Amino acid sequence: MFQSLQPLPPDPILGLSATFKADSNPEKVDLGIGVYKDEHGNTPIMKAVKLAEESLLKSQTTKSYVGPTGAIGYNETIARMVLGDTLLDSLGKRRLTIQTPGGCGGLRLAADFIAKANADTTIWVSNPTWANHKPLLGSAGLKFNQYPYYDYLTHSLDFEGMLACLKQVPEGDLVLLHGCCHNPSGADLNPEQWLQVRDAAIEKKFTVFIDLAYQGMGTGLEEDVYGVRLLAESLPELIVVSSCSKNFGLYRERTGAVTLICESAKSCATSSTLLAAAARANYSMPPDHGAAIVQLIMNTPDLREIWDDELNEVRNRINRLRSLFVQRLRAASIEQDFSFIENEKGMFSFLGVNENQIKVLIEKYSIYLVNSSRINIASINDSNIDYLISSLKEVLDS
């Protein structure tokens, strides 16, 4: 039966990564990769994570299953991190959180849950959005539509277009927002814009679904969830999918969560049975290791302090690099204005170069980026910035 299968085209980001690895140019730079890189180009294990792992190794007494909804302590920890103490207490039984295999597992589970609630609903995603949103959410059979988000000409959020579109979203549809550090654009909503989105959701009665993959990577752990908390306190229903891949560096440990806010405690209890059934049908139980690490770090003051410092350093480094990159581009007298990169948040921004220029950057200079021109700011470091700037200058001036 497998004879009839046709191969799929390679994933553009993974394909790029493979070509980068095979490139023998010692000056090669990978701007396409989606993980954090430190000054030395590594994706390190955080110190707090290592310490938590050592402690867990000594204290864990079983490897028995954790159950479809994961560890209660981890779920409460994530809910507290995302929503904060006050809101969490006031939501009481209108809120539930379940552990998932990473943010992707959470998105997939949420999609199954949404399909059970209303198979005919449409999910409105930002134009552009993270490339994996459609495969993950679409696999549950959900339909998509797009709202304007990023204006490639002005290199900024097209909030007017976005809001006008949201005001046309039919009742019962879902609107997917990025909680912070929009991937791929780095352009985020400001507090005033979040308020207007909240008002549109109330007026038009659409359900908001937030993908929160980068809490703490933009402005701060609390600041980055301004929008999530605003919506959580004012909307009757909300779906939040969060991930610990980036902020704890736990990528391969697959550590995430789905948090639901429901209209009533009864609806929450019903929803929890559906989420648990969806988990059971997809993967049965989530993996434990990453969740146990997060739970331990967040509830052990010494570890928490170490992690806070490390996360601050990651965020500050990205923001420093944003400024440095813009400064260096300006100092090289490159005509194109890149100042927008300094105002964007998280790991990604569109460089705003065209596909021909990208082709030359890859083929002639071994500087790798995807066709959309999304770059990972954290890939820039002291060793490659001179080469990066001089290559960009040659390509952009030619």
Ligand X SMILES: Cc1ncc(COP(=O)(O)O)c(C=O)c1O
Active site residues: 130, 211, 246
For residue 104, state whether it binds ligand X (rule: CB under 6 A). yes
Stretch 170-199: interaction string toward ligand X, x if CB under 6 A: --------x----x----------------
Q: Does 211 bind ligand X (CB under 6 A)?
A: yes
Rounded least distance, CB 20 to ligand X, Å: 18
Among 70, 186, 249, 256, contact with ligand X (rule: CB under 6 A): 256
Distance CA 200, CA 198 (A): 5
| Cβ at position 34, least distance to ligand X in Å | 5
The answer to whether residue 97 forms part of the interface with ligand X (CB under 6 A) is no
Please report whether residue 102 would count as binding ligand X according to CB under 6 A: yes
Among positions 34-53, residues that touch ligand X (CB under 6 A) are 34
d(CA 268, CA 276): 12
Whole-number Å distance between alpha carbons of 99 and 76: 10
367-368 and 95-101 as β-strands: parallel, antiparallel, unpaired? unpaired
Q: Which amino acid is at 254?
A: R
Given a contact cutoff of 8 angstroms between Cβ atoms, the answer to whether 345 and 218 are in contact is yes
Cβ distance 145 to 93 under 8 Å? no
How many residues contact ligand X, by CB under 6 A?
13
Q: Find the shortest distance in angstroms from Cβ 364 to ligand X.
A: 29
For the beta carbon of residue 5, count every other beta carbon within 10 angstroms: 7
Q: Which part of the chain contacts ligand X (CB under 6 A), choosing from 7-15, 79-87, 102-110, 379-387?
A: 102-110
Q: Number of helices (H) and strands (E), helices first, in the chain?
A: 15, 13
Q: Does 245 bind ligand X (CB under 6 A)?
A: yes
Q: Which residue has the tokens 């550090």?
A: 181
Of 221 and 392, CB closest to ligand X: 221
Binding to ligand X (CB under 6 A) within 106-145 occurs at 130
Q: Give yes or no for residue 259 binding ligand X (CB under 6 A).
A: no
What single DSSP character describes residue 300? S
Contact in structure between 123 and 173 (CB atoms under 8 Å): yes
Nearer to ligand X, 246 or 328 (CB): 246
| Residue placing its CB nearer to ligand X in the complex, 183 or 295 | 183
Residue 40 Cβ, how far from ligand X at the closest point, in Å?
A: 22
Of 378, 362, 381, 379, the closest CA to residue 370 belongs to 362
**φ/ψ of residue 127, rounded to 5:** -105, 105
In total, the chain counts a number of residues equal to: 398
Which DSSP category does 205 fall into?
A: T
Nearer to ligand X, 68 or 186 (CB): 186
Residue 103 sits in the site that holds ligand X (CB under 6 A) = yes
Task: Decide: is 257 part of the binding site for ligand X (CB under 6 A).
Answer: no
Binding site for ligand X (CB under 6 A): 34, 102-104, 130, 178, 183, 211, 213, 243, 245, 251, 256
